[in-house]
Structures are given as structure tokens and as C-alpha cells.
Amino acid sequence: MKIQELEVKNFGKFTDRRIQMEDGINILYGENESGKSTLHTFIKGMLYGMERGRGRASVYDTFSIYEPWENPNYYSGSLRFESGGKIFRIDRNFDRYKKNAELICEDDGEQLSVADGDLEMLLGGLKAASYENTISVGQMKVETGQALEAEFKNYATNYYTTGNNEIDLAETLGCLREKKKTLEREVKESLVRKQAERERIEQEASYVWRDVHHLEEECGRIAEELRHRQEKEIYEEAENTENKRMIDELRPDKWRIHPVELVLFAVIIVLAFMFIAKPWNYLVSIIIFLTCGVYVWNRMKVGKKQEKTLPEIILEEITPEEEKIPLEKLRWEYAHVREELKERQIQYDNLKEQLAELDEVSEDFREFDKKRMAIRLAEERLNELSGELQRQLEERLNGAASEILSEITEGRYTKLLIEEKLHMSVLKEGRRIPLEQLSRGTVEQIYFALRMAAGDVLREEEYPVILDDTFVFYDDRRLKNTLKWLAGYRKQALIFTCQKREAQMLDELGIEYRLERI
């Protein structure tokens, strides 16, 4: 990819400004506050767009900082670039109300879509974070960010497993974590449903147990009543049989008064009537008759005040309402209650079995455990693979960055060591020297070498190098070496500077360049 032309229609302090770019080194010279950083930001905005912040953050975001000084509602520009042997132009309107982006191929007039990813495809998948950590260096921002480390992990995993860099490791791990959260949420919801089901079954079981207990009591009451009724029938039947037998046999020894007594009472009454003078004989006879009658009456009641038998007690306990209930109806009611009791007991046993099944580990939870183990294994495997392959990539990166640093420092530092989380140090005469012990200029040269090497390792396509006052801390010798390296190894470099020494050194080196005054 190469940038052909910038057309700043209305962006920051610039209005209707065109800047041509050529192959090789392009020097964009301007004094302080001339707009170099504005153009640097414009290039990124054209490639990746600009989003306006929200709330208080919107006051200091990039969108607000570079909003046009005049006519802010007209906030737009164009950029022409070459990719794959064709010329493309992208037009953007950054205005918050008329925001849009159009991409067209000028060679054949084909209309492409930024929203559908056509621009990202033309840029070779170069994302904004990678752009800022490799080919683009802002003022005082030569150090790389964490995004570059993440991209190395992605690249290492993808390149050595699939041969390309289309898979995003961080995104993949994020998807796995989201699946894990979703799975845990499903497990939690399942446990909540299971607990709710348990509470429902326990409540239903308590109701059924109460019904069983009530039916058992009812069944016992009816059985006792049946027993009483049956005993009553047996007693009545025995009593009737006894009465019949007594009447039939008429045994005197069972009588309460003897016939001789009756004869004697009759003789006494007759004698009193015959031998007592009239009219007293009538009165005496009547008194004797009444006396004998009372005696006979008392004798007839003898035995009725004896102790009552069990059947008599049972019969006394039976209420009149109970006596009205037919025995067959009681038997039917007893059978009906027994049948309902049996059904309730079966229902209660089934509910207890359901509770026991809930206590067991279900097949769903076994499946949850399998998925959880699979996700965890995938995370561990991806991290292990990324770590192992990243070490292999670091060797390539160390080699490429060491060559660049050695050329810039004229062999003073020949070995750059890039370790985990992009911690770096250099080897000098067999001694490891961390960055903290090096000068600011050397540190910036190390980061410059890292950026250039990362661009070579991570991207197959070459991109223009865009540098905004990057060489402030370089001495003349190392600046010359850096410019020589850029001229020899980069097809296009855009150097924004407030100094003239870059152009002077290029003249001394005999390297052609294009100078644009801002």
C-alpha cells in the first residue's frame, strides 16, 4: 500500500489543502503549531474514521480537538492510495449529523463498501491498534502499547496453526469466556428450576401425606363403627334367639315369681273376703290385692339393674344418627376410603421417588460438566499453544529487530532481546542491559526497530511508515543511519518534522526525497 494524495477539505486548521505523496521518503516540514500532527491524525481518520465521545469525555476526544475551526458542520476529506496495483479513493464526512464514508476504485469505477469491510480488506487486515503500534508513530509515542503484545499472540497462534492471521486470539478467548459464562448461567438457572421443582414436590408431598393421615383416621373410624354394628347385630340376633327359646320352653326356674306364690296370694284374698265381717271384708281384700300386685311388679323388675354386658354398652354408644346408616353403606364407604387411601399412598411414594431423583446428578448436569471441561481445556490449550508459538515468533522478531538496531547503532548493539509482555533489553559485550539503563535516544531507537520489525513479521504487505517528530532525541549519526535504512528498506516513508536536519542529511547522503512545506 502507498498513499498517493491527501485532500483536506475541512479538518482542524486546514481547508481545501491538497498534498501529493511520492514513493520513497516524503518530508512534511513545518514549524511548531503549523499542523503536522493535524495531518498525521487526518491520515488515521481517513483510514479508520473518528468516533465522537460521550459526556465529559467528548470535550477532549480526537473528534473535538480536530473539529474544523471554520464551518465545523463541514468536516470532511479524501485520501487516494494504491493497493494491489490499483488506485482507490476514500471520501469521509466526519460530521456527527452527516457522517458517511465512500470508497471507489478509480481504475474501473467500482463502488466498494467501507461498512462491509472492503477497506479493511484493501488494508490487508491492518487494524487501528496495529496501525498505531507499527507503521504510525505519533509525537512522543514511540513506545508500543499492549495491543501489540496481543497481536503477537494472535499472529503466533494463527500463523503456526492455520498459516494465516485471520483468527483473533483475544476474541476467541473472549468467546470461550462468554460461552463459559453462558454455561454457568444455564447451570444456575437449572439449579433454580430444580430447587423450585423440589419445593413444589415437597409441598405437594406434604399435602398428600396429610390426606393419607386423614384417610387412615377415617378408615379406622369406619372400621370401628363396622365392628360395633356387627357386634350389635350379633347381640340382637342372640337376644332374639334367647327370648324365643324362653317363650318356647317356658321354664319355671327362669321366672321372676313362682306360680305357687300367685296361688297363695289368691287364697289369702279369698279367705279375707270370707271371714271378715261386712263391709270391712271388701276393704281388706282390696288392700291385700294391691299389696300382692306391688310385690308381683317388683319381682318382675328383678335382674334389670344387673351389670350391663359389652354388647349393651356398645349399643348405648351408637347414636340415633348412626343407627340410621345402613350397614351396607358403611361397608361401601369403608371400601371407597380404603381405595382412596391406597391411591394417595401410591402418589406419596411417587413423590418421594421424584425427590430422590432430584438428589441424584442428572444427565443435564453431566452434560454441563463435559462442556465446562471442554471450554476450560480449550482455553488452556490456546494459551499453551499461544505461549509456545509466541516464543518461536519472538525469535523471528528478535532477529529482525536486532538487524535494524545494529544498522542504526553501527553495530554498538547487535542483539535485542524481546521477552514476555514486550519487556526488552540489549546485549553488549555479553552483558544484558535493560532499557531503564539506556539513554532516551537509544530507547526510542529500540522501539523504532521493534515497530519496523513487527510490521515486517506481522504483515505480508508493506505499508508506508508515518513518523511525527520521531527523531527529536536522535544524534546526527544515528539519524543518518535511520534515514539510510528507511530509504533502503521502505518503499514509502512520511516524515513530519519541525527541523531541517532530516532534509540536510538526506542531501548529504544523496538520497532523493520530496519536500512539502506545511
383 closest CA partner among 177, 183, 179, 146: 177
| Helix/strand/coil (H/E/C) assignment for every residue in 413-464 | CCEEEECHHHCEEEEECCEEEEHHHCCHHHHHHHHHHHHHHHHHHHCCCCCC
Separation of alpha carbons 463 and 455, rounded Å: 8
Q: In DSSP terms, which residues pair with 15 in a beta bridge?
A: 10
Residue 397 lies in a domain: no
Residue 275 lies in a domain: yes
100 closest CA partner among 86, 111, 113, 88: 113
Q: How many residues does the chain have?
A: 518
Residue 479 lies in a domain: no
Write phi, then psi, for 166 (nearest 5 degrees): -85, -15
Residue 321 lies in a domain: yes
The model's pTM = 0.60
Burial (0-12, 13-18, 19+ Cβ within 10 Å), 335: exposed
Kindly give the confidence (pLDDT) of every residue in the chain, 518 residues in length, as a single tens digit, with 9 standing for 90 and above: 999 999 999 999 999 999 999 999 999 999 988 999 999 999 999 999 988 777 665 667 888 888 887 887 789 999 999 998 999 999 999 987 788 999 999 999 999 999 999 999 999 888 888 898 889 998 777 676 555 656 555 554 454 444 444 445 566 667 777 887 887 787 788 888 888 888 888 899 899 999 989 989 988 888 888 888 778 778 777 776 666 555 444 444 445 666 777 778 788 888 877 888 778 878 888 888 888 888 878 777 655 544 455 444 544 555 555 554 577 888 888 888 889 989 989 988 998 888 887 776 566 667 777 777 887 787 777 777 666 666 777 788 888 999 999 999 998 998 988 777 677 889 887 888 988 899 999 999 998 998 898 888 877 788 999 999 999 999 999 999 999 999 999 999 999 999 999 999 999 999 999 999 98
Domain that holds residue 344: 178-359
Number of folded domains in the chain?
Answer: 1
Q: In DSSP terms, which residues pair with 111 in a beta bridge?
A: 104
Place of cell 553495530: 411
Separation of alpha carbons 238 and 78, rounded Å: 124
Q: Please give the angle made by the CA atoms of 452, 455 and 460, to the nearest 5 degrees.
A: 140
Residue 460 lies in a domain: no
Residue 96 lies in a domain: no
Give the β-pairing of 415-418 and 424-428: antiparallel
Local structure of 76: helix, strand or coil = strand
Question: String of b and e for 350-362 (b: at least 16 CB within 10 Å)?
Answer: ebeebeeeeeeee
Residue 97 lies in a domain: no
Residue 46 lies in a domain: no
CB 484 within 8 A of CB 509: yes
28 closest CA partner among 500, 506, 509: 500
Write phi, then psi, for 133 (nearest 5 degrees): -105, 0
